[in-house]
Amino acid sequence: MNSVPREQYFTPQTAAAVPQQAVVIGGGIVGTCCALYLQRSGFKVTLIDPAAPGDSTAKWSCGQISVGEIIPLSKPGILLKVPGWLMDQEGPLALRPSALPGIVPWFLRFLSCARQSKIVDIATAMASLTSDVFADYANLLDSIDDDTLIGQRPILEVFDSAAGVEHERPHIELRKSLGFDTQIIGRAEIDDLEPALKGRFSHGFLLPQWRFVSDTEAFLKALTENFVTNGGRRVRSAAARINEDAGQATGVTLDNGESLPAAHVVLAAGAGSRRFFSQLAVNAPLEAVAGYQVLVRNPEVKFKHSVIYADGGFCFTPMLRGLQIGGTIEFAGRNAKPNFRRAEIILAKAKKVLPELNTAKHEFGVGYRPFLPDTKPIIDRSKRLPNVLLALGHGQLGLTLGATTGRLIADLASGRTPKQDLTPFSARRFG
């Protein structure tokens, strides 16, 4: 990671300046990166989250820094797949029938993004963010000694047949036009790159610009430790309310009654951000989508790369704590309990691909991805309380876009003009 060129997007306050207070609500990857960039911009930052460092949605992810994952989920033909999701609860994307009434308005917005012109617009906007991902993380990792946190190897994507590759060709061309390469590979290349899959797949992609995190939990802990070591405060508590006076936020009150003053408040609590939408006059259709994972502690199968099995709907990611297998998602509805049968399905499918996989010691996990219908995040400020900054709705790209979002939020808080045009990520784009 230290080999990535470092770019300075921030100008720290002078030593003589009195640091402004900032409070970040949400200690996941996005909130932690926001706290770090604010800190490096000279703010005195408090980060609040009820969970322990590292115990967040990003922990239970595929661990990929997916710089080329810019095509929205609403691909052409998606409407035809919805009945199948309802009937096949073992598919890579499931919809609980009980969730259907509440999710209909979200799905209608989602389907409206399936037009080709809309897909190009979304992909173009997302590419503007993902193009700076590695430089933005380099700024945060420059003082962390562990240079193995982000694996420097590319990612593989494999298919059961040539049909899968052909189906993706239009998206390959769109990614290529926006600066992201995809190399089509065959059996010999797959066998050579990933001996664990030797003889199993003859069609696939090499994604040379993508990378993966060697341990998502350790990665989050390292960033948090860096934040605290440099004078930040992390409080294990939930935010009860955002305090305000005369059209400005004045701080945050915690569940325990403690009040934290702030010149700026950052809302980066993922799907939990919804509880503040009414106060902030945010009308965004944010839904939590459950993503299930299995961590196999002693797999006895060694992977060199993170590998997406496209037709299976899941991914193998080698991590320091074991082999993480996951990716299947479920629209379950708000406040629904996890259905770990979904994780059992992943494990059974993985065993079919790798019969030699030792699954004796495994752990199930779930992360709730905060999705908006156009699969773009919100990076903006509240119209009602303009010193409340919004960093939410990253869907499956929280880990990928954490540092870039943090840099942009620090720009807004400091009064600097962000490098990227944030119009496509406005909170007001939904009306």
Amino acid (1-letter code) at residue 358: N
Q: Report whether CATH 3.50.50.60 matches the domain 21-59+218-283+375-430.
A: yes
Q: Which CATH architecture has domain 65-127+145-213+286-371?
A: 2-Layer Sandwich (3.30)
| pLDDT tens, residue by residue, 377-410 | 999 999 999 999 999 999 999 999 999 999 999 9
Domain ranges of the chain: 21-59+218-283+375-430, 65-127+145-213+286-371
393 neighbors 370 (Cβ within 8 angstroms): yes
pLDDT at position 209 is: 96
Spell out, as residue ranges, where the chain has pLDDT lower than 50. 1-16
pLDDT at position 2 is: 36
pTM over cut 0.85: yes
The β-bridge partners of 249 are 244
pLDDT at position 77 is: 67
| pLDDT tens, residue by residue, 30-46 | 999 999 999 999 999 99
Pairing of strands 233-235, 44-48: parallel
CA distance 402 to 411: 14
pLDDT at position 15 is: 41
CA 96, chain centre distance (Å): 23
pLDDT at position 144 is: 87
Segment holding 205, helix H or strand E: strand 203-207
Handedness of CA 45, 51, 54, 56 (dihedral sign): negative
Contacts of 15 (CB under 8 A, 6+ apart): none
Report residue 426 as tokens: 């406005």
pLDDT at position 274 is: 96
242 neighbors 22 (Cβ within 8 angstroms): no
Nearest CA-CA partner of 38 in 50, 46, 28: 46
Nearest CA-CA partner of 213 in 289, 131, 315, 288: 315
